[in-house]
Amino acid sequence: MTTYNFESVAVYAELGGALRLARGARAFVTDPTTGAPVDATQGAVVAPYVDADAAGDVTFTAESWPVRLTNGATYEDVWPVDAAGPAGTLTDAFVAAKVADTSPSLTRAALAARFAKLSHVVVGPSGDYATLAEVFTDYPTGYVNIELVSGDHTLASPISASAITNVIIRGQGLGSTTLTSTAGFINASNACNEWAIRDLSIIHAAGTNTDDGIVVDYPRRWSVERCSIEGFGGTSVWYKGGIHSRIEFNRIAAKDSTNTNGYAGIYISKSDGDIYATTICTTSNYIVTGKGYGVLAKNAAMSIFSGDIVEYCAVGMRFEQCTGELHTPYTESNYGNAIELFDSPLPCIGTFRTEPIVTWLSVTFADRYVTRVSRNWVNPGKALIYGGSAAGADATTSPSIRWGAGSPEGAQTAVVGSTWHRTDGGTDTTEYRKEAGTGNTGWVASESLNRIDLTAGSCWGNTGAPALSFLGAGGTARIPAWVLDAAAYEAVSGLVSIPTSWTTFNVDMWWSNVGAGAGDVMFRIDRGTITDGAAVPAVTSVSLAAIAAPAQNVMKVTRVLEGVAAVPGLLSLGILRAGPHAEDTLANDVGVAGFVLTKAS
């Protein structure tokens, strides 16, 4: 079996977020491919581990190569002196040179690139670097935590990042660390993943411009948080596509310093490769005085926009072909307070202020996309506070559902199909439908089921020989009515179902005098309720006091029952004329046109 010699190998451990020599530490020896333990011979000890000396070095032999030395969460793959490692391997000589180098940043950069560990560097007076741009010379692939000290920093040109990952750029807080540029700040592309920009005041100081601040093409696990960003005449923070990335707790003045240009405070769009943004989250950003959009999102899927505040921008928020959730958006000003959802079935969760104009346009998604506005669930294009169509979305172009005090007639402009719910209405004056016109007229009150009509045509004769005929003659209206004889006992009856929502009800009879004479009429009202599974009941009869007949063909309404207890089931209702009764003094027939039952309670 061949024995391989590993001489003066430096062992490393993570300490304080950076790699350091593991002086006097133990490292376990394994096969890099299989993970199986490998026995190493160090002096008289043969074991699957080695112990570093006071300088952090180990010398040992093993019967295979390469081997992996692991100390805590840190590992390194090492090659023996008998076999050269692959190109770019961190050789013993290379490491020794770096450890001995007088520049600690070079050592950290080399180790960070080798072991994928974040190194911590400081930018500013007495720091590791004088400027932010210098850091990326030593860390061309990333893995660096960059701390900017308090005070003012300058950036001569935008940071152009490509394939740089795991970078943190952080200051000491708003108003404490200021980074001033005369162009953009960062333009990242080509898999620049896992960046965080925090606690900075970022200022474009070149006056009128159209520069973008932070632009990232397809960010993966990016965050821009707790920053103040101002002076950029393009877009302040722009995510092109991306996944699992956040923009939160920032203050953004979305315009240049001369108040000339400004496209958007936050802009979410497709990537340069035409890929949708997915799972992007904007949270509690404060965007002010923008020349364009506060928040603009196009083609963002499964994304959350939560608690963002936009004040005094030309347009508050606009979403185009976005899905996800919109939580409690806040926009304010006498102009630019619109929240626009175009082809965007975003559930809107929380309480909206009364000021924003919320509009839906060009809604083409399936019905399953339901939106919630405050406590109201709405379906885009079907049942909205303001409906949606390609032509527009407001009270003058699309059906609406609204409410307030007073009648809408002459007061509320709407299109046909709209409804108005009156907050101070009463019986039959609570709900209104727009049935005609495009202005503020054409509203009709919708009657609730507070009334039931039992007309002559729905009744039948049950005593004597009443005849179904007509009231009126010649050129007058012809009204169906049961004619009850003056010289006989004649009655008619009908059936009606009493609504379960009724507690008590009243009954009015509509009737008239068929002839030209005058006199009193004696009536008896008969009623009984038929219920499921019960025998047909006997009727309850109430004889009415004599009633003076109206003039010929003049309709009269007489209350025949009042405050009757409602019993669910079919009500049998009948009226009998007692013609031979001594108190019935009308020599003419009478005509009964029907009954009106009204809900009393």
Please give the full DSSP string across 488-518, using - where no structure is assigned. Answer: SEEEEEEEEEEPTT-SEEEEEEEEEESSS--
Q: Is 108 helix (H, G, I), strand (E, B) or coil?
A: helix
The model scores a pTM over 0.75: no
DSSP per-residue letters across 254-302: -S-TTSS---EEEEEE--TTS--EEEEEEES-EEES-SSEEEEEESEES
Provide the H-helix boundaries in 413-494: none
Beta bridge pairs of residue 451: 598
- Burial of residue 319, with CB atoms counted within 10 A of its CB: 0-12 exposed, 13-18 middle, 19 or more buried: buried
Q: Return d(Cα 420, Cα 268) in angstroms, integer.
A: 37
Q: Cα 563 to the chain's mean position, in Å?
A: 50
**Tokens 């923070």 map to which residue?**
237
Tell me which residue of 548, 580, 446, 565 sits closest to 506, measured CA to CA: 565
502-541 burial, b if ≥16 CB within 10 A, otherwise e?
Answer: beebebebbbbbbeeeebebbbbbbbbbeeeeeeeeeeee
DSSP state of 427: T
Q: Are 500 and 568 in contact (CB under 8 A)?
A: yes
Tell me which residue of 155, 162, 151, 103 sits closest to 134, measured CA to CA: 155
Tokens of 313: 């921008």
Q: Are 287 and 313 in contact (CB under 8 A)?
A: yes
Tokens of 393: 């979305």
CA contacts within 13 A on the Cβ side of 253? 15
Task: Note the pLDDT of residue 358.
Answer: 65
DSSP state of 307: S
**Percent helix, percent strand, percent coil in the chain, to nearest 5:** 5, 45, 45
Q: Are 40 and 50 in contact (CB under 8 A)?
A: yes
Query: Which amino acid, one-letter code, is at 284?
Result: S
Fold category of 451-599 in CATH: Jelly Rolls (2.60.120)
> Which residues in the chain land under pLDDT 50?
87-89, 92, 96-102, 115, 362-370, 372-377, 379-394
Q: Is 92 helix (H, G, I), strand (E, B) or coil?
A: helix
Give the domain ranges of the chain: 4-106, 212-398, 408-448, 451-599
Q: How close are the terminal C-alpha atoms of the chain, in Å? A: 103
Tell me which residue of 15, 148, 130, 9 sits closest to 138, measured CA to CA: 130
Q: Is 461 helix (H, G, I), strand (E, B) or coil?
A: strand
Task: Note the pLDDT of residue 507.
Answer: 94
**Tokens 């009655």 map to which residue?**
491
Tell me which residue of 553, 425, 576 sits closest to 491, measured CA to CA: 576
Give, for 85, the enclosing helix (H) or strand (E): none
Q: What is the pLDDT of residues 16-25, one digit of tens each?
A: 556 677 788 8
Query: Which amino acid, one-letter code, is at 355?
Result: E
DSSP state of 457: G
Task: Note the pLDDT of residue 383.
Answer: 41
Q: Are 168 and 141 in contact (CB under 8 A)?
A: no
Strand spans (E) along 17-93: 18-21, 26-30, 40-42, 45-47, 49-51, 57-62, 67-71, 74-78
Tell me which residue of 208, 241, 236, 233 sits closest to 224, measured CA to CA: 236
